[in-house]
Amino acid sequence: MAEKQPQTLENHAKFVPLFHYVAFPILAVNVLWSLYRVVTEVSIDTAIAAAVAFSLVMLALFARTFALGAQDRVIRLEERLRMQGLMPDELKPRIDEFTTDQLVALRFASDEELPELGRKVLDDGIGERKTIKEMIVSWRADYQRL
């Protein structure tokens, strides 16, 4: 089995070639073709075909969005449990103050870096995932992201 490329801020986003390069472009072309047909051959059939084509694109987008939302909930739980073991006693009561976005970003921080970075995120009110990820010095890979 080939070794995984070390994960970094630049390459951590999950990219699925069959979804991004095949399925979604086919669905997008289908929508465009269906809209063209509605304009050039106005009928109930072409209108229904366009509605179905649009619905398929929405289905693909929602399927991805729902999966990521469910995964974010699991990450939130995992990170709260991880923080219970890693945060100093004075920060443990503040674990519930972290937002889901903060926890999703902080999962990439190493165990050694997490307590201080978590304190900074809370104290400075940093909420943007990208900003938090850019602050991480010692990256902790997550190869199971959907």
Across 16-20, 29-33, 128-132, least confident range = 16-20
pLDDT of 1 reads: 46
- Position 3 confidence tier, pLDDT thresholds 50, 70, 90: low
Alpha-carbon distances, residue 142 vs 35, 52, 103, 128 (angstroms): 40, 36, 13, 19
The whole model's pTM is what?
0.79
145 located within any domain: no
| Largest CA-CA distance found in the chain, in angstroms, rounded | 69
- pLDDT value of position 145: 76
The share of the chain scoring above pLDDT 90, in percent, equals: 82
Is residue 144 situated within a structural domain?
no
Domain that holds residue 62: 17-135
> Does the residue 43 lie in any domain?
yes
Domain for residue 127, yes or no?
A: yes
pLDDT-derived band of residue 7, with 50, 70 and 90 as boundaries? confident
- Is pLDDT above 70 for 2? no
Query: Average pLDDT of the chain?
Result: 93
Residue 7, in any domain of the structure:
no
Domain-embedded: residue 12: no
pLDDT, tens digit, 9 for 90 and up, residues 82-136: 999 999 999 999 999 999 999 999 999 999 999 999 999 999 999 999 999 999 9
4 within a domain of the structure (yes/no): no
In Å, how far are 25, 82, 98, 118 from 123, measured between CA atoms? 43, 20, 11, 9
Is 1 a domain residue?
Answer: no
Number of domain units in the chain? 1
Residue 5 has pLDDT above 80, yes or no: no
More confident residue, 107 or 146: 107
Cα separation, 93 vs 144, in Å, equals 29
